[in-house]
Amino acid sequence: MFVPKMLLRQLYTHGSLTKTPDGICFTLKNRLKDAVIREIQFVSLDGEIFSPDQILVQTGSESQIKASELNQRGPTPFALREEITLTLQIDAEVSPEKRNLEVCFVASPFGKLSFDVQDNVSESGSSTRHIPRDVHDDYQPEIIAERQRYFESFSQHTLDHVGRYSVDPGSLKGNIEHFIGVAQVPIGIAGPLHINGEHAQGEFVVPLATTEGTLVASYNRGMKLLNMSGGVTATVVDDAMQRAPVFVFENARGARDFVAWVNANIETIREQAESTSSVAKLTYIDNFLSNKFAFLRFNYRTGDAAGQNMVGRATFAACGWILDHYPGVQNFYLESNFATDKKASQINIMRTRGKRVTAEATIKREHLLNVMRVEPKQIDYHGRVAGVGSFLSGVNNTGLHSPNGITAMFIATGQDVANVSESSAGIMYSELTDEGDLYISLTIPSLIVATYGGGTGIGTQRECLEMLDCYGRGKVYKFAEIVGAVALAGEISLASAISSSDWVSSHEQYGRNR
């Protein structure tokens, strides 16, 4: 399997070249995919080659052994995100001068891998002010307890609540570093909500994690209203996750010609990108030219994962192949800020980031009057007035508060909460029907959700997804439809409260905790 040199160098942990009593050591971290080490062939330092008998290896919580012994005992698992430490048995001085380090080993499914890096030798040991850490097993009870004591000593406060948890710390690898405990957020339930989706069909009771009074009650009221008129129709209309590298050239003509070359070689670029994952599928590459820069926006489908890390690895591999085969690139950055990761943006509204989902319903006039004490025309008129306010303020959401419900669901179900930045975008529309009823529709153009991977498999988060029958593979569209439907329930509830002037009184009754 071809692995670009640029990607291979990411295996080395920069800053890890350290003087120890046994010699000098450094760490390798698997940033590619699950693998098995077959043989460590050699390590060279400034051209001096060290054989397997001169190299000590530590994997996991095991003691150091010679690389030659590791080679003899057979394949050694090297899982994604796992670290191994290699020690060269020489006496080297601590120095700010860069040393040339080369590593050569054989691993499945890659074959023979060889790369070189530069780093300087630093002193081992850490200051007492550094957070305690075990590079090989940072989730064992002893190191967690040591960090808790460190934090209590540093802050002069005890961890009466943070340190109590039911989750297995060992299951959190890849989710949290320097683990000491958990933050407990209250969870309420709203519903049931009837959804007429392509993937979410039937009634759902929805977990909402929040400390904001009235939020659960408001969403519950909106769900009641929507159910009375037949529920919510929800549809996922697009699916894309991006990484957007930028390539720098001598002039604009060079950037233009490069884009033409990329388009001509799209199939090979796709093969390189998709070789890093069995899930990521490169659907297309947008290109945007400005000055002497070529911005490429790689668009992927990522299955049931949110996929930012997945598409980062895939794009990195593709760009490594591009740099190895296209001359004239003067500079390159994997992320140009054009994917707008963790940021709201106009391009995400237009082109989709995550799932693009629309939730819609037609609400009977009599139900609005009975439940919300408001006329359809009041809500429709307020929406048009608020549209002017949206335009004047330059917001990315013409609705009222869809991020409220989205955030509460994200916290409850283990989503990356920072993705609310993109997921906060919303396009709200309403109209009066000929019968005097109210049609409402909310499009969330960049809803970034997952039902597998990330934080979705942790204790309470997995339980909440399972409440919705949305945990695991093949469930992400269903979950996206539920989130869209819940957001619509919150919109009609708050719109009714504002239009009928119940908003302030409701907060005074339910939302005061002081």
Can you tell me the distance from the alpha carbon of 123 to that of 27, in angstroms, rounded to the nearest whole number? 15
Can you tell me the distance from the alpha carbon of 186 to that of 201, in angstroms, rounded to the nearest whole number? 27
Distances (CA, A) of 60 to 77, 81, 272, 352: 10, 12, 31, 41
Confirm if 122 and 18 have CB atoms less than 8 A apart: yes
Cβ neighbors of 144 (< 8 A, separation 6 or more) are 169, 179, 180
Q: Which two tokens stand for residue 467?
A: 């409440």
- 83 burial class (0-12, 13-18, 19+ CB within 10 angstroms)? middle
H/E stretch holding 361 reads: strand 354-363
Can you tell me the distance from the alpha carbon of 496 to that of 502, in angstroms, rounded to the nearest whole number? 8
Cβ neighbors of 185 (< 8 A, separation 6 or more) are 209, 210, 211, 411, 412
Cβ neighbors of 172 (< 8 A, separation 6 or more) are 139, 179, 458
Can you tell me the distance from the alpha carbon of 375 to that of 426, in angstroms, rounded to the nearest whole number? 24
Query: What is the identity of the amino acid at 184?
Result: Q
Confirm if 357 and 235 have CB atoms less than 8 A apart: yes
Q: Which of 111, 200, 98 is nearest to 480 (CA)?
A: 200
Residue with tokens 């050694």: 76
- Kind of pairing, strands 122-123 and 18-20? parallel
Name the residues annotated as catalytic: 212, 416, 507
Q: Kindly report whether the peptide bond that precedes residue 132 is cis, defined as omega within 30 degrees of 0.
A: no
End-to-end CA distance of the chain: 62
Phi, psi at residue 337, to the nearest 5°?
A: 75, 10
Q: Which two tokens stand for residue 268?
A: 């090979």
